[in-house]
């Protein structure tokens, strides 16, 4: 398993959490997804044999949340 942390622009509403987490959890290969509202961070654990980190980032940015930076470990 690998992990990705995305730093987003500040989130403006708590419903953003459900929107982002819901979209990521639907992706095949994403095992866990957590949004930290106050810090604007998204953390996801994923199976790199099923999905690439870039697809996770594209999913979040495609929802309208600009990514400032990302780190994969």
Q: Which residues contact 62 (CB under 8 A, 6 or more apart)?
A: none
**What does the alpha-carbon distance between residue 46 and residue 49 come to, in Å, rounded to a whole number?**
9
Residue 49 has what DSSP assignment? Answer: T
Domain count, the chain: 1
Q: Considering the entire predicted model, what is its pTM?
A: 0.93
Task: List the CATH number of the domain containing 27.
Answer: 3.30.70.100
- 72 backbone dihedrals φ, ψ, rounded to 5°: -115, 135
Containing structural domain, residue 67: 2-72
pLDDT tens digits for 37-67? 989 999 999 999 999 999 999 999 999 999 9
pLDDT tens digits for 13-38? 889 999 999 999 999 999 999 999 98
| H/E element, 43 | strand 41-46
- Nearest residue to 56 (alpha-carbon basis) of 18, 28, 36: 28
């Amino acid at each position: 398993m690998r992990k990705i942390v995305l730093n987003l622009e500040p989130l403006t509403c708590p419903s953003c959490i459900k929107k982002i987490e819901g979209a990521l959890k639907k992706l095949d290969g994403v095992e866990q997804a957590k949004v930290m509202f106050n810090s604007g961070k998204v953390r996801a654990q994923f199976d790199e044999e099923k999905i690439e980190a870039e697809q996770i980032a594209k999913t979040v940015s495609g929802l309208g949340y600009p990514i400032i930076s990302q780190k994969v470990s």
